[in-house]
Amino acid sequence: MKVANRIFEDLRPGDSAEMRRLVTLDDLYVFAAASGNYNPMHLPPEDGDGDGKAESIAPGLFVASLVSAVLGTRLPGAGTLYRHQSIDFHDRAHAGDELVCRVVVTEKREGGEVALSTEVRRIADNALILSGTAVVTAPVTRYEAPDLELPGLVVQRHRHFDNLLERAHRLPPLATAVVAPDDENSLQGMLLAEKEGLIAPILVGRADDIRAAAEAAGVDLSRFELIDVPGGDKLASARACSLVHEGRAAAVMKGHLHTDDLLTPMLDKIDGLRIGRRFTHVFVMDVPGQPYPVMVTDAAINIAPDLQTKVDIAQNAIDLANSLGIEPRVGVLSAVETVNPAIQSSIDAAALSKMAERGQITGGLVDGPLAMDNAVDLAAAKTKGLQGGVAGRANILVVPGIDAGNMLAKQLSFISHAEGAGLVLGARVPVILNSRADSAKSRLASCAVAALHHAHLSSGPP
């Protein structure tokens, strides 16, 4: 950003400057965080006055800060210090409004003071939002910085998950067999999703343990069907499979049990939920600052997948992306972006890319090998001379093995502040795989992803 100034001796009455600014939702969040003003009238998507609509009004002092921006960067510019500001508000600005702030020099005074008239208008209808006067001490030393850089800001807001939840709320609750919800975390996750209208739970497991956990957590289970399976977690998972075969459940949710105990009965060739593909896991990650969700697969089930398993990993993720209305762009990751016979993941990646070209993987673009940087960053991809629809724009990341996938997913969660929805694919129905460390948003998003995937497979997207 270029910053310059006009010193006191150069200023004349009638001199003017202006700046345009589009008010965004992120502006409202940033201003609230910086000022401590959490008035719900200014916080999307809150309804601050109870009329059933989110107001998303730009705070008055945010609008006034545009005046400060013009004074500090345009006229008089760098080195300007405030002495006085009067403000009258005439209308309200909202997120989505484009504003223009204009200041005009009205008077030069002794001691280096300058008076200016100030106003902010909405461009669409020329409505006056703010008017007033400012008195400043003008700079006396010339200053110009052609490229002044500030630290970048990323608003930790999970808009992609908000969109998925909004779409899932239009669907009927998904009948879901919840296996072994016999601790507070699994119960609360289930209740939250049920309250949001995402799932209709059927509780499966040791009834005494489930009731005891509910009593300890102060939870009323009287409105839910509870199927007692006293023999253990694997038997409870097998009963959940039966509910799917009976048409009573359209999804399965993990409760308080080991993932192996949940999945082993599902892999049974006769009574399980196999449909011919490997079971694979996908994290759908909402990473702040990213323009679209990012999927990481497989980070939880397949430890060291061979080429055929990676075919299923890629195909399952593509199918899920299409269910969510996301254009699938699969980047098959390795340490390098060229095929190296000494690096097996680069050979597998090249094979997967060619298999997609030949129609052995369908529904999306597949490219590899790609290193992490040139998979997700266009500048890095261009530097390496990589072209096509995936390099620099990948939204599905197929990792070499569980180590890399698990580390990548947790780095995105705990360093990049992403939220992750976890789902097991390749079964007859979606399998919701929550962790005890998952936030409420992640738990809801997992259920929303499952509901949208089921709806797509059943009758097309909502």
Q: What is the pLDDT of residues 205-261, one digit of tens each?
A: 999 999 999 999 898 999 999 999 998 899 999 999 999 999 999 999 999 999 999
Give the pLDDT of residue 84: 97
* pLDDT, mean of residues 116-134: 97
Domain 3-145 falls under CATH 3.10.129.10: yes
For residues 424 and 410, what is the distance between their CA atoms, to the nearest angstrom? 17
Q: What is the pLDDT of residues 256-310, one digit of tens each?
A: 999 999 999 999 999 999 998 999 999 999 998 788 899 999 999 999 999 999 9
Inform me whether the pLDDT recorded for 437 exceeds 90: no
Instruction: Output Rg (C-alpha) for the chain, integer angstroms.
Output: 28
Residue with tokens 């002092």: 61
Residues 159-459: name the CATH superfamily: Isopropylmalate Dehydrogenase (3.40.718.10)
3-state secondary structure (DSSP) of residue 296: strand
- Phi, psi angle pair for 217, to nearest 5°: -90, 0
* pLDDT, mean of residues 307-327: 96
State the amino acid at position 248 in one-letter form.
R
Inform me whether the pLDDT recorded for 461 exceeds 60: no
Give the pLDDT of residue 157: 65
> Helix 25-35 crosses helix 60-73 at what angle (to 10 degrees)?
90
Q: What is the pLDDT of residues 356-386, one digit of tens each?
A: 999 999 999 999 999 999 999 988 998 899 9
Q: What's the CA angle centered on 325, arms 320 and 326, to 5 degrees?
A: 75
Inform me whether the pLDDT recorded for 460 exceeds 60: no
Q: What's the CA angle centered on 453, arms 452 and 459, to 5 degrees?
A: 85
Q: E strands along 109-159, which residues? A: 113-122, 128-137, 144-145
Q: Are 366 and 354 in contact (CB under 8 A)?
A: no
Domain boundaries, the chain: 3-145, 159-459
DSSP secondary structure of 222-267: TTSEEEE-TT-HHHHHHHHHHHHHTTS-SEEEE-SS-HHHHHTGGG
For residues 301 and 424, what is the distance between their CA atoms, to the nearest angstrom? 9
Q: Give the pLDDT band (50/70/90) at residue 462.
A: very low
Q: Are 280 and 424 in contact (CB under 8 A)?
A: yes
Residue with tokens 């006067």: 133
State the amino acid at position 323 in one-letter form.
S
Q: Residue 81's beta-bridge partner residues?
A: 137
Q: Which of 196, 138, 133, 134 is nearest to 12 (CA)?
A: 138
* pLDDT, mean of residues 441-462: 85
Q: Are 49 and 55 in contact (CB under 8 A)?
A: yes
List Cα–Cα distances, 332 to 106, 304, 307, 344, 387, in angstroms.
Answer: 63, 15, 12, 12, 15
Q: Are 285 and 164 in contact (CB under 8 A)?
A: no
Buried b (16+ CB within 10 A) or exposed e, 40-58: bbbbbeeeeeeeeebbbbb
Q: Give the pLDDT band (50/70/90) at residue 424.
A: very high
Inform me whether the pLDDT recorded for 183 exceeds 80: yes
For residues 405 and 345, what is the distance between their CA atoms, to the nearest angstrom? 13
* pLDDT, mean of residues 4-27: 92
Q: Are 171 and 462 in contact (CB under 8 A)?
A: yes
Give the pLDDT of residue 225: 95
Assigned token pair, 67:
């005046």
- Phi, psi angle pair for 244, to nearest 5°: -65, -45
* pLDDT, mean of residues 391-408: 96
- Which H or E run includes 456? helix 440-459
Q: Are 368 and 353 in contact (CB under 8 A)?
A: yes
Inform me whether the pLDDT recorded for 48 exceeds 80: yes
Buried b (16+ CB within 10 A) or exposed e, 79-89: bbeeeebebee
Q: What is the pLDDT of residues 136-170, one digit of tens each?
A: 999 999 988 777 777 766 666 678 888 899 999 99
In percent, how much of the chain has pLDDT > 90?
Answer: 77
**Higher-scoring residue by pLDDT: 334, 1:** 334
The DSSP bridge pattern shows strands 280-286 and 365-370 to be unpaired
How many DSSP H helices and E strands does the chain contain?
Answer: 13, 18
When the pLDDT of each residue in the chain is averaged and rounded to a whole number, the result is 92
DSSP secondary structure of 325-364: T---EEEEE-S-SS--TT-HHHHHHHHHHHHHHTTSS-SS
3-state secondary structure (DSSP) of residue 322: helix
Q: Are 2 and 145 in contact (CB under 8 A)?
A: yes
